[in-house]
Amino acid sequence: FAVGIARVAVAPRSSPMAVCTVKKVCCIGAGYVGGSTCSVVAYKCPEIKVTIVDVDAAKIAAWNSPDLPIYEPGLQEIVETARGRNLFFSADVDSAVTEADLIFISVNTPTKTFGLGKGRAADLKYIEASARRIVSLTKGRKIVVEKSTVPVRAAESIERIFEANRTEGVELEVLSNPEFLAEGTAVADLLNPSRVLIGGSQTASGYAAMKQLSFIYSHWVPEEKIILTNTWSSELSKLTANAFLAQRISSINAISAVCEATGADVTEVAHAIGTDFRIGNKFLQASLGFGGSCFQKDILNLVYLCEALSLPEIAAYWNQVIKLNDYQKRRFATRIINSLFNTVTDKKITIFGFAFKKDTGDTRESASIYLCKHLMDEGAQLVVFDPKVKDRQIISDLKHPLISDDPDRVDRLVTICHDPYVAVEGAHAFVLCTEWDMFKTLDFTRIYDSMEKPAFAFDGRIILDHDHLHDIGFHVETIGKVVGPRKFTIPATPPPC
């Protein structure tokens, strides 16, 4: 397959898809990906009617209100510009699907929690339900675009459902168009993407459908950034991209443990290796570990794919990225407990940040959740402050069965506070878990004065001025670096396993 839309063969005019002009777009799923992506499509393509639908009426009501259900810098302005003009949010799924020329499927694909592939494989029940709904409502020609993160060859499953259920005169072309958004910068990523990837079948109708979708993106994306591949390459590229990014984070986090044991500074090490143009400096920020909806889910998906293809060594390789990420969170929790004289029972510990990264209210797979779990297991009294995450989301995450087998203990041990200074009053320690910019500018002298002594500062994101904190009087612990005097000895031989 050629790269770049200018080099892709054009379908002949006799192809049904070649004469199909996209005037109406429907997006099934008003979540983070669907809501953000199709809002930008409507914003940039005012001549195209874009309807985002969801069976969750409350979510649709939120999209139609001043208080959007997700937070992303710049998204509010884009939605308010296009909403009511050519951007609509509706719970009437059937009507939007029926009138659409092109349909994005952007529904949730969570990791399976039971059955074959539990804990690794993607649960495609919402994809399947969407496919069955589309084919039952289609009377003519439509392009169906896989936008959700899916396992390789998921498009083939959609095509089989279409083929088995379509009636005479129905033509449905399936494309893969994975998203490469980073939460917190999603709008910027959509407006100025590094690439747009579109995968389709190597047929005349497949080429034509890809050209139709390419035309939408070409309203604002340069032609050379639109990459066309076969369907399977597109699906695998999404999983591979996230696996590579997560691998870099786990790699630098592994080195952070070595730095703490030797007296090296992981920030200096990351800078030194990042200046090598073969390596580059992206995703070399050591931290508590990666979170979000994509990295862990996609790696587990890749692991399951490798296992299914009888590639156990490859599966084990990628699974180690997940194991190291879990280890990093446990390791930092253990450092907190050990620093607080080996017990945190009934001690007040303030958690600064609950979102998995700054500039988003998303908490999925946030390191804060697992850190709180470890501290609750030890009986700590936690006070959580986050400038964007809603109270109910914090409580829901901490009461999840995988986090707490006793939901009542969350009510006993966790308090949510909306003022960072109030949150640390009387605390034995604060733990910075999310790199919100506001945390850099807090008055730490005021914070120190209000805390129990000795006062402990745990920086899980390496964003604070550690020397300043140390001078104030804090006992400071961070990732990949030792603050204050400590003796280091490296054994002549490694200890026995």
Contacts 24+ apart (CB under 8 A), 111-120: 111/296, 111/297, 111/300, 111/301, 117/304, 119/300, 120/300, 120/301, 120/303, 120/304, 120/307
User: Residue 143: helix, strand or coil by DSSP?
Assistant: strand
Q: Catalytic site residue 179?
A: yes
- The count of other CB atoms within 10 Å of the CB of residue 98 is 15
Out of 44, 147, 211, 238, the active site residue is 238
State the DSSP code for 53: E
CA distance 44 to 138: 27
Beta strands in 185-323 (DSSP E): 196-200, 226-230
294 tagged catalytic = yes
For residues 427 and 260, what is the distance between their CA atoms, to the nearest angstrom? Answer: 26
- How is the chain split among helix, strand and coil, in percent rounded to 5? 45, 15, 40
* DSSP assignment of 352-411: E--SSSTT----TT-HHHHHHHHHHHTT-EEEEE-SSS-HHHHHHHHTSTTT-S-HHHHH
- Give the CA radius of gyration of the chain: 25
Which candidate in 146, 179, 235, 477 is catalytic? 179
Q: Do 376 and 414 contact (CB within 8 A), yes or no?
A: yes
| Interatomic CA distance for residues 216 and 402, integer angstroms | 42
Q: How far apart are CA 144 and CA 134, in angstroms?
A: 9
Check: CB of residue 175 under 8 Å from CB of residue 231: yes
Integer Cα distance of 59 and 62 in angstroms: 5
Catalytic residue among 294, 306, 372, 433: 294
Q: Which of 256, 326, 318, 320 is nearest to 284 (CA)?
A: 256
> Which neighbouring-strand residues pair with 164?
none
Q: Are 259 and 478 in contact (CB under 8 A)?
A: no
Spell out the residues 6+ positions from residue 391 whose beta carbon is closer than 8 angstroms to its own: 416
DSSP 263: T
Report how far residue 353's alpha carbon sits from residue 474's, in angstroms, rounded to the nearest whole number.
Answer: 19
User: In 3D, which of 96, 205, 190 has the Cα closest to residue 141?
Assistant: 205
Q: Residue 325's closest CA among 249, 414, 435, 224?
A: 249
Contact 435, 463 (CB under 8 A): yes
306 is catalytic: no
The residue written with tokens 């109030």 in the block is: 422
Q: Which residues are catalytic?
A: 179, 238, 294
